[in-house]
Amino acid sequence: AIVVGVKKGGTRAVLEFIRVHPDVRALGTEPHFFDRNYDRGLEWYRSLMPRTLDSQITVEKTPSYFVTKEAPRRIFNMSRDTKLIVVVRNPVTRAISDYTQTLSKKPDIPTFEGLSFRNRSLGLVDTSWNAIRIGMYAVHLESWLQYFPLSQIHFVSGERLITDPAGEMGKIQDFLGIKRVITDKHFYFNKTKGFPCLKKSESSGLPRCLGKSKGRTHVQIDPEVIEQLRDFYRPYNIKFYETVGQDFRWE
């Protein structure tokens, strides 16, 4: 199974939570095989994977696959039975989170507003900016549906992953066809970080929270900018809800 997206949606949390399961072995780093390293060949990719028993599922996550044109075909050519997990969240919040992360590494980039619009007074959103483009989920999904049926793609709500981690993880376990082992008793809510953490990790038996790069305080954005972006995303969101048969309530 591959967690194919999306960046700043909650993919790391899903990976850390699911690898607690005894029937799952997960690669901790992002291999970027189906986007950046494809020329290294399948044997290289396989060599990165943890050793598994026949009864175990191997999982990797690389959130940029979701927006990579070639990724669906390449994964399909490897195995048409691959199960795909996509973690999505409100595209406006996702874009702000994405920008916040970039800003922490490159403090001199232009403002969020400046990057979001080609012309703000006309309300022209700059869809070439990656942080905006990633959130147009319905557009990217089309490429995947050319190769995989919806039944092989599971969508996780990044919002519900925070408010009800056990519920979302229950659905993921059902989708992967494994027993519901990860339940409420695995989580506690970390008030400082503002999201759930595991009571104990697979390796140490100690509580495990995601690293300091997760749960950053978002940059403050002008509410009017947020409103304009909400308007921009609305048709894409509605199309996405209709395609996947699930309302994520981002409106």
Q: How far apart are CA 22 and CA 45, in angstroms?
A: 23
With residue 24 as reference, give the H or E element that holds it: strand 24-26
Buried b (16+ CB within 10 A) or exposed e, 175-185: bbebeeebeee
pLDDT band, very low/low/confident/very high, at 217 (cuts 50, 70, 90):
confident
Instruction: Tell me if 208 is assigned to a ligand binding site.
Output: no
Burial level of 132, CB count in 10 A (0-12/13-18/19+)?
A: buried
Q: Out of 84-88, 157-161, 207-211, which region has the weakest mean confidence (pLDDT)? A: 207-211
Instruction: Tell me if 12 is assigned to a ligand binding site.
Output: yes
Q: What is the pLDDT of residues 116-134, one digit of tens each?
A: 999 999 999 999 999 999 9
Q: How far apart are CA 216 and CA 109, in angstroms?
A: 18
pLDDT exceeds 90 at position 249? yes
Q: 188 φ, ψ to 5°?
A: -135, 155
Q: Is the Cβ–Cβ distance between 59 and 25 less than 8 Å?
A: yes
Instruction: Specify the pLDDT at position 73.
Output: 98
Instruction: Specify the pLDDT at position 65.
Output: 99
Q: Percentage helix, strand, coil, to 5, in the chain?
A: 45, 15, 40
CATH topology assigned to domain 2-96+133-218: Rossmann fold (3.40.50)
Instruction: Tell me if 215 is assigned to a ligand binding site.
Output: yes
Q: How far apart are CA 162 and CA 214, in angstroms?
A: 12
Q: How far apart are CA 219 and CA 230, in angstroms?
A: 17
For the chain, which residues make up each domain, given as ranges? Answer: 2-96+133-218
Instruction: Specify the pLDDT at position 202.
Output: 59
Q: What is this structure's pTM? A: 0.94
Instruction: Specify the pLDDT at position 17.
Output: 96
Give the three-class secondary structure for 2: strand
Instruction: Specify the pLDDT at position 101.
Output: 96
**Number of continuous H segments (helices) and E segments (strands) in the chain:** 10, 9
pLDDT band, very low/low/confident/very high, at 205 (cuts 50, 70, 90):
low
Q: Which of 7, 8, 61, 83 is catalytic?
A: 8
Give the three-class secondary structure for 46: helix
pLDDT band, very low/low/confident/very high, at 237 (cuts 50, 70, 90):
very high
Instruction: Specify the pLDDT at position 216.
Output: 78
pLDDT band, very low/low/confident/very high, at 204 (cuts 50, 70, 90):
low
Instruction: Specify the pLDDT at position 139.
Output: 98
- Between CA 106 and CA 35, with CA 68 as vertex, the angle to 5 degrees is 80
DSSP state of 105: H
Q: What is the pLDDT of residues 139-198, one digit of tens each?
A: 999 999 999 999 999 999 999 999 999 999 999 999 999 999 999 999 998 888 888 999
Active site residue 239: no
Residue reference for tokens 């005894």: 22
Distance from CA of residue 19 to its chain's centroid? 16
Instruction: Tell me if 19 is assigned to a ligand binding site.
Output: no
pLDDT exceeds 70 at position 136? yes
Please give the mean pLDDT across all residues of the chain.
95
